[in-house]
A and B are shown apart, each in its own frame.
Chain A
């Protein structure tokens, strides 16, 4: 079976998965322990990456969080039409990255997920990426359906409500996930000066992973 068929099958499986209840993968305990094959170990139980469901990025590529295992990443939630805090959130992540050594920087990825899936389609996310001159090798802007959006917000402890005019009221936070998707640090301090404690955690994580 060649790689593209395999990935096609994976995509089909993902798409066919009923979103949530029964769908979660078989429990780690049921998996054959220490099989010789180089198959990746099950995700830790506190990994954010185990959240099932499909996201779509600014290039209209569909992906699951599981695929993002392997590198530490910053995760935030925003929406494209936001005038006030969301640009700050993007700028804050960018400022954080600028503080890193080039070698550390190369290992970090950034995922920003929209709170406004009804309006933030791939084209709109791409436009935002271009406006902010984001390096798309490092940054991913994405959206998902309403259920998955709500679940991701819940695991990241982000509270939000859509206002009557279409804007969103939401907490702005950056969360640092390690390579396995575990939450290492979180900050709601998204001013121009990076949160020193958060930055230290970020540097530590990048040096050790």
Chain B
């Protein structure tokens, strides 16, 4: 969209918005936009989720939406806290974040320090804090479906998941990241949508982390425990070879909203205007 006459573009966008137009494959964003934008448009589509629900056979549909190109950084979160001091680590309500863990690697409540560089993704943030950040930006957290859909892509393909080389490159992260300091955002190659750092940097919160009910967690230990669910709809993993995605799901399924973990950050999403 570099050199398009602006007025025409605006009119076109207005018309599209009025018509409730939802982008198809041909509206895929250019990965090499001249000016990096904070949000990238993700076209609608369908894909095969690693999660199989009894009530949702077949492929999952995803409506067009926008997703942040990179995870939220320490610098961005610091700016948020300056405007919303109730999210400072010394003021946050324990209901919403684990005191003593939330932003614990920052030098102080209002300064980043050497263990939290401005361009590193913010981590040790609770779901409540991540949600508040996105809402303050008139956005929201992505759903798991949206996240998985975008994370299935590599630099050239919308769905690279069956490529053993792609899987191997992602798996590598799981064996190396334990004690190394976090990288900075934007250091991974953009995928076909232009989105970066979905793999290889951090775990990310999703809006519906609490919707991931996984067989095998402590809620389904016995027949008696089945009573804890209203109705059917059990979840299982459809692609046991997709270890990276299983790790993500297991991670999110084990979390509580106040958890503030050293490798867990977030990025925001928003509906199309």
A-B interaction: yes
A197 within 8 A of B: no
Judge if B133 is at the interface, Cβ distance under 8 Å. yes
B19 at the interface (CB under 8 A from A): no
Cross-interface CB contact of A21 among B133, B227, B228, cutoff 8 Å: B133
| B212/A159 in contact, CB under 8 A | yes
Decide: A160 and B211 in contact? CB cutoff 8 A: yes
Please determine whether B132 and A150 come into contact, CB atoms closer than 8 angstroms.
no
Cβ-based interface call for B179 (8 A): no
Report yes or no: A172 in contact with B233, Cβ–Cβ below 8 A. Answer: no
* B18 close to chain A: CB less than 8 A: no
Q: State the interface size on chain B (CB cutoff 8 A).
A: 38
The reply to whether B233 and A47 form a contact with Cβ atoms under 8 Å apart is: no
Q: Is B111 located at the chain interface by the 8 A CB criterion?
A: no
Q: Which DSSP category, helix, strand, loop or mixed, fits chain A's interface?
A: loop
Asked if B227 and A88 sit within 8 Å, CB to CB, the answer is: yes
**Is there a chain B Cβ closer than 8 Å to A70's Cβ?**
no
Cβ A167 vs Cβ B212 within 8 A: no
Please determine whether A163 and B229 come into contact, CB atoms closer than 8 angstroms. Answer: no
B232 at interface (Cβ–Cβ under 8 A)?
A: yes
Given the contacts A22-B84, A153-B210, A170 and B133 also touching, CB distance less than 8 Å: no
Q: In chain A, residues 149-178, which have Cβ atoms closer than 8 Å to a Cβ of chain B?
A: 150-151, 153-155, 157-161, 163-165, 167-173
Residues of A with C-beta under 8 A to B94? 45-46
Asked whether A121 is an interface residue with its Cβ less than 8 Å from the other chain, the reply is no
Stretch at the interface among A79-87, A106-114, A134-142, A198-206: A79-87
A50 within 8 A of B: yes
Q: How far is the CB of A125 from chain B (nearest CB, A)?
A: 17
Q: Find B213's partner among A19, A50, A86, A161 (CB 8 Å cutoff).
A: A161
B95 touches A50 (CB 8 A): yes
- Contact at B93–A46, with CB atoms within 8 Å? yes
Task: Provide the residues of chain B in CB contact with A84, threshold 8 Å.
Answer: 227, 230-231
Alpha-carbon gap, A155 to B210, bound state (A): 11
Question: Are the C-beta atoms of A21 and B135 separated by less than 8 Å?
Answer: yes
Q: Does B123 contact A (CB under 8 A)?
A: no
Find chain B residues with CB under 8 A from A21 CB: 84, 132-133, 135-136
Closest to A43 in B: B93
Measured CB to CB, the nearest residue on chain B to A19 is: B135
In whole angstroms, what is the CA distance A50 to B93 when docked? 9
| Across-interface contacts of B208 in A (CB, < 8 A) | 150, 161
Interface 1/0s, chain B 168-198, versus A by CB < 8 A?
A: 0000000000000000000000000000000
A37 on the B face (CB < 8 A): no
Asked whether, in the complex, the Cβ of B229 is within 8 Å of the Cβ of A171, the reply is: yes
B230 pairs with A167, CB closer than 8 A: yes
A47 to B55 alpha-carbon distance, docked (Å): 36
Is the Cβ of B230 less than 8 Å from the Cβ of A48?
no
**Distance (whole angstroms) from the CB of B127 to the closest CB of chain A:** 6
* Interface status of A97 (Cβ within 8 A of chain B): no
The A-contacting residues of B in range 50-92, CB under 8 angstroms, are 53, 55-56, 83-86, 91
**Residues of chain B at the chain A interface (Cβ within 8 Å):** 53, 55-56, 83-86, 91, 93-95, 127-128, 131-133, 135-136, 207-208, 210-213, 219, 224-225, 227-234, 256-258
A contact residues vs B (CB 8 Å cutoff): 19-22, 24, 27, 29, 45-48, 50-51, 78-79, 82-86, 88, 150-151, 153-155, 157-161, 163-165, 167-173, 188, 190-191
| 19 extra interface residue pairs, beta carbon distance < 8 Å, beyond A20-B135, A191-B224 | A20-B132, A22-B84, A45-B93, A46-B94, A50-B93, A79-B230, A84-B227, A85-B227, A85-B230, A88-B227, A154-B256, A154-B257, A157-B256, A159-B213, A161-B233, A167-B231, A170-B229, A173-B228, A191-B227
A to B CB contacts below 8 Å, 23 in the list: A21-B132, A21-B136, A24-B86, A45-B94, A45-B95, A46-B95, A48-B95, A50-B93, A51-B95, A85-B227, A85-B229, A158-B210, A159-B211, A161-B208, A163-B53, A164-B53, A167-B230, A168-B231, A170-B230, A172-B227, A172-B228, A173-B228, A191-B224
